[in-house]
Amino acid sequence: MPDPQPATPGRLPALYLGHGAPTLIDDPIWPAELAGWAAALPRPKSILMISAHWQSAPLTLGATNPAPLVYDFYGFPERYYRIRYESPGAPDLAARVKALMPPDEPVVQRPERGLDHGAYVPLLVMYPDADIPVLQMSMPDLKPEHLFEIGRRLAPLRDEGVLIMGSGFMTHGLPFVHQYFDGRPGAPEWSKEFDLWAAERLERGDLDSLFDFRNQAPGMPYAHPTVEHFAPLFVTLGAATEPGEAPKVTIDGYWLGLAKRSFEVK
């Protein structure tokens, strides 16, 4: 695997990725895919993380100095609650995010709120040295058009060495995939159908259909009984230079029956 590239000037991509669960770090395949993806990217100066696991209105910025992680999961072995990811804070990035928002998009701060598992789990395998400043930002709501507009406002950060990462899951019907928890391969039809539908709309740049996924996508509501894991995708698309341009798919396939499709936009 190549060494990470040094930080360089120029526009970084924006990412949408599946973050798995705390057990992702023990998977035999997925961590290597995420690590390889990170190694192929220019090294960011800082990371702005939008996780499915933080919805808070108004738009809220997390800790700008190191803070304890948020172990927002239950029933896992004790060792997953001992994980640490002590990345530097990003107060300058927080100030820039606030400055980029319009007057009707208020921004507040929660200095005690650390990274949740939707943020730190992928970072553990993508940037394991925890030496890049990370800021987590909440989703103020789950409206695709609003999140897209927030992403559009954030896009200038990409020219400043900031890696914008939307962290969710292309399908997230956890109540309906218990039969895959034993590690069997494949996925239920609703997961495959939603994944294929989303992939085709992304390839065509069909933003209107993606915005209306609740009504148009096959596999609903099984693919997303609640939609917070699909929602970060719209921040990523909004931050694209050309939102209608087909993204570069970096990871696909299924994990516990759920689509782990991930991509980057230019």
Which residues does 175 contact at the CB level (< 8 Å), separation at least 6?
A: 225
DSSP code for 11: P
* pLDDT value of position 2: 39
Which residues does 103 contact at the CB level (< 8 Å), separation at least 6?
A: none
pLDDT, mean of residues 244-253: 97
Residue pLDDT, tens place only, 189-236: 999 999 999 999 999 999 999 999 999 999 999 999 999 999 999 999
pLDDT, mean of residues 61-81: 94
Question: CB count, 10 Å around CB of 136?
Answer: 28
What is the DSSP secondary-structure string of 101-113? S-TTS-EEE-TT-
* pLDDT value of position 35: 98
Quick one: how far is CA 212 from the chain centroid?
Answer: 20
With bands split at pLDDT 50, 70 and 90, how would you rate the model's confidence at 100? very high
Does residue 37 contact residue 187 with C-beta atoms inside 8 Å?
no
5 has a pLDDT exceeding 50? no
* pLDDT value of position 9: 55
Name the average pLDDT for the chain: 95
Beta bridge partner(s), residue 134:
47
8 has a pLDDT exceeding 70? no
Write down the pTM of the prediction. Answer: 0.95
pLDDT, mean of residues 13-32: 95
The three-state (H, E, C) secondary structure of 28-79, written as one string: CCHHHHHHHHHHHCCCCCEEEEEEEEEECCCEEECCCCCCCCECCCCCCCHH
* pLDDT value of position 182: 85
- Least Cα distance to 143 among 43, 73, 210 occurs for 210
Residue pLDDT, tens place only, 24-41: 999 999 999 999 999 999
7 has a pLDDT exceeding 60? no
d(CA 238, CA 207): 10
Domains in the chain: ranges and CATH? 14-265 (3.40.830.10)
* pLDDT value of position 3: 44
